[in-house]
Structure 1
């Protein structure tokens, strides 16, 4: 009978670390908080210095996706708190860069909706989940006031 050596013994594969499960409600909460923070920043410090239309548009399209809705181009173009023509340019750039896609409704060819691409959805979910994890580890409620 052959002697068993460590190399001949079956190795136990370590269990994969538990992957946290995130809900759309958590993702919505983070995205809405981000939107509120952006709006507060604009109102407190002035919109001229803090325009971020691409991010504002992505957040709104993402929120609508999580709520099971698509966003009309008109609404998306004004989401960035910029002139509609500027918003349309940002929508075009986001489309070219693979973040969003436009879909025409079969029932109304004049109605165009904006949705996230599959890749953008993966990236936005990952970002929101990273924020959720970070908050659970280092969240504001854990901070102490510096003296």
Structure 2
């Protein structure tokens, strides 16, 4: 299977998952509207919400030109939030891949996010060429405040 076919399959899967999530959300809303005495449905946790945001953002490219949705900083913040919640390390190279932007553009955004104190960078003690990037406490609080405001 060539790379184009894999990318196409991933895009299709992302779109289908987004459609399933949307359908499920609509069903929950209808159940709540039909039966106000029904037990409260748990609000999805932040990690699930951020993963869904990432999937939705990627699925837009299936229907519209990718250059319409160029926000590497937001893509990086979302990816770093997931990495933080899953206790995973993320290096500059993997973060750049999440941004879907040229390396130099992504590196400038990482620098800017660090200046804003939304991310921290730590040089790997074993391989000094490798730099780990993570959300700072300020970054975590900002993402969680955003999520709370959009419940």
The alignment's TM-score, normalised by the length of structure 1, stands at 0.68
Question: How many pairs does the alignment contain?
Answer: 110
2:100 matched to 1:78? no
User: Which of these residues, 120, 126, 135, is aligned with residue 101 of structure 1?
Assistant: 120
Counterpart residue number, 1:92: 111
What's the RMSD between the two structures over aligned residues? Answer: 1.9
Distance in 2 separating the partners of 1:49 and 1:121: 27
Match 1:26 to one of 45, 54, 60: 45
Secondary structure, counterpart of 1:110 in structure 2: coil
After TM superposition, the score normalised by the length of structure 2 is: 0.66
- Aligned equivalent of 2:77, options 58, 69, 91: 58
Richer in helix (by share): 2
Gap regions ≥5 residues in structure 2:
1-41
Map of 1:112-127 to 2, 5 A cutoff?
Answer: 112-127=131-146
- Say whether the 8 Å CA contact 1:103–1:113 is kept in structure 2: yes
Structure 1 segments (4+ residues) deviating >3 Å: none
**Higher Cα radius of gyration:** 1
Give the match for residue 110 of structure 1: 129
